[in-house]
Chains A and B, each alone.
Chain A
């Protein structure tokens, strides 16, 4: 050993310290970047002092995978909850003010008042107005549902576009990682970017990443379709031009495999694409079917009956394009809530007479109940009110128990919807808690702690000072040796 080797060790110590300081300062500068993983310089001993072999990146596969799956679930659940909130306001209004249940309740009240004042034509008019309100609520509700479906369809289209461009970015970064790894370059920055992209992709679709040689990643959706392998597979979706009740929108395909729509309030969906499919096809279609059934219930309850029982029942106050026939019992008619209208024979704004509600006979003389023409005849009105309270068969395809009164059915639809919304909102809370928990755990495992970096820097400072002191000492020693010789 010689003084010159001591000098060269001190020199390499200075070099190491400066490289370590670079890492520390990089860590400090990226402390608030969530996609950044903490770096550390690995030192290895060698003949002439320690040497920085590589800069390693802190990783935790398990936590990262948990974080991805929490991200997918939360993204799906919050999409569903937001969609349900929108639907709730669009269809039922604030405090259920525009819900069919409320409109039917007000109509029943008006009918009661009319039955107590059958001779009063103002009351007849206001009863008709209440009936118009019921029709408006049903028409507007189903229009809102269908436009919500179109909006969701457009959102799916743009989400699919974003996903495809994320996959294209992913390819670039993945290529860089693979190429860099092969030649032994530092690919940590590319890895950070790739993890960031993976998180974004997880928001759209639940993916599992399979690590292959040279740090190459292959992405597979949880349903088994390949999303990325060396090159991105295409995610395809054809938007529909318009939605009508009973129609189904197109599916989303990953490499030809369709994505399943989520089910349930606490949705089974992972990623927002699946949740959007659920909103577009399952939830909206259910609500629409229920509105259609309410419309059918109204047409049936207010159908005119022939007092002598000869003629078949015919559509009365509430009518539809199939009038004078009454829709078949217990069978859902798609889009009835959109088609239902007030029979012109009753509508004073269209030259009709609201008093037909009291007397009957909108479908001809055979249907007149008030044969004596008495102005205070209330039996027919009471009969209508009674029929709204009697159990009738509803199509179980609309998701609500089959035999129940129209009046109760209308409130049951609110229960059905709010049940889903409550489940969804609760699930969103717990999934968001899980997400922040996994994010915290991941950040704690791979993130930067400024204080820790500062203490490391103090260490480095001391090492640097010590190395400098060592160099000066060797210098002094050499100088005194030279002096002794001189």
Chain B
């Protein structure tokens, strides 16, 4: 007759299998307590694992964009200070020229003022940051503005040729003395101005491209993040300086020189306004970048929170579970020992 409900094997096995399960559990929990994350995120999250991988990847990527935004910001702030210098130059030049038009200032003074303007302006536009020429458009490995006063300067040659073609004699020729103010004004407006404002600008003066550097400032937003030396303000400022510096070196009479001065003054004024416009646009972009970085930073924080919700564990809960398990395992050991002693053999 079978009277028992439990076999000796069954008793031993049940304790053993529970003990093994608890020991496996404790190695997992130890890992979780130390790392603060679930031991195996794939098993814990299952089909949501991709979400956690994607969030962690996005955190890194957004961080990368924040870093590259910092780079774009520093480029723009260097550009901004360059534009400030240009504005200052334009204003000072405007002041000097206005004075020269109304009072009889020695032409050589006006000439040297203009030469200084052109040289300083070239210096500002050719400044670079981390080896990138700031005002070169996308052509950042090339110096954007050619030196006007260099020997064989194409810009000087172009102006000299234009004069020769228009009047039939060179500007240094004694006959140049006969050019009157109306003729000179007409020449400047119809011949010299297109040289600066048109396609000749990139042949004679500038190596920059109109196209500017595009930067991706958030996952979805791109913006132009540089200023080219080909903007109207720069062309006009160069025109104002170069006409005075160049033609005052010739044989013009004072009326014609005055026409040059008036032309330069009006161009310097326009330059001033246009550069201010570019500066304000640059300021807006700087603001956009800094806003984008702030937004990205917030996004990173939110993503970190989400990742933490997905894979991080409560360390207190985990340690409590470890200690509970430890005491359970100890109980199991005691139990095993007691069960071993609990044999009829001991009482026979």
Using CB atoms and an 8 Å cutoff, list the residues of chain A in contact with chain B: 31-32, 34, 38, 40, 58, 88, 95-96, 99, 101-102, 105-106, 108-109, 112-113, 115-119, 370, 372-379, 382, 385, 389, 407-408, 411-419, 421-423, 425, 436, 439-440, 443-444, 446-452, 454-455, 458
Contacts and interface: CB of A to CB of B under 8 A. Distances in A.
Contact of B226 (A370, A376, A385, A411): A376
Q: What does DSSP make chain B's interface, helix, strand, loop or mixed?
A: helix
A102 B138 contact: no
Contact of B61 (A105, A119, A379, A448): A105
B211 A374 contact: yes
19 contacts: A32-B8, A40-B1, A106-B60, A108-B61, A112-B64, A116-B68, A374-B209, A375-B141, A376-B136, A378-B215, A382-B216, A411-B57, A415-B46, A418-B46, A422-B44, A422-B47, A447-B8, A450-B345, A458-B348
Nearest to B3: A452
Nearest to B140: A376
Interface stretch (B9-17, B80-88, B180-188, B321-329): B9-17
Interface stretch (B48-56, B106-114, B154-162, B265-273): B48-56
B71 A99 contact: no
Nearest 8 Cβ contacts at the A-B interface: A374-B138, A447-B7, A415-B50, A422-B46, A116-B68, A419-B47, A105-B57, A411-B50
A430 to B, nearest CB: 13
Contacts of A447: 7-10
Contacts of A119: 131-132, 140-141
Interface string B101-131: 0000000000000000000000000000001
B269 to A, nearest CB: 32
A456 B6 CA distance: 16
A102 B131 CA distance: 32
Given A411-B54, A447-B10, A115 B219 contact: no
Contact of B47 (A117, A408, A416): A416
Interface residues of B, number: 59
B219 to A, nearest CB: 7
Interface in B55-98: 57-58, 60-61, 64-65, 67-68, 71-72
A242 B287 CA distance: 60
A455 B47 CA distance: 56
A40 B44 CA distance: 50
Contact of A449 (B8, B41, B51): B8
A117 B222 CA distance: 15
A418 B45 contact: yes
A444 B53 contact: no
Contact of B42 (A106, A372, A422): A422
Contacts of A99: 53
B7 A105 contact: no
A109 B42 contact: no
A370 B209 CA distance: 11
A407 B60 CA distance: 14
B338 interface: no
Nearest to A112: B64
A119 B7 CA distance: 79
B50 A412 contact: yes
Given A108-B61, A112-B61, A447-B10, A454 B344 contact: yes
A452 B4 contact: yes
Contact of B14 (A379, A411, A419, A440): A440
A374 B137 contact: yes
A101 B9 CA distance: 49
Nearest to B12: A32
B214 interface: yes
A422 B138 CA distance: 51
B344 A419 contact: no
Given A418-B50, A458-B348, A32 B140 contact: no
Given A119-B141, A372-B139, A444 B10 contact: yes
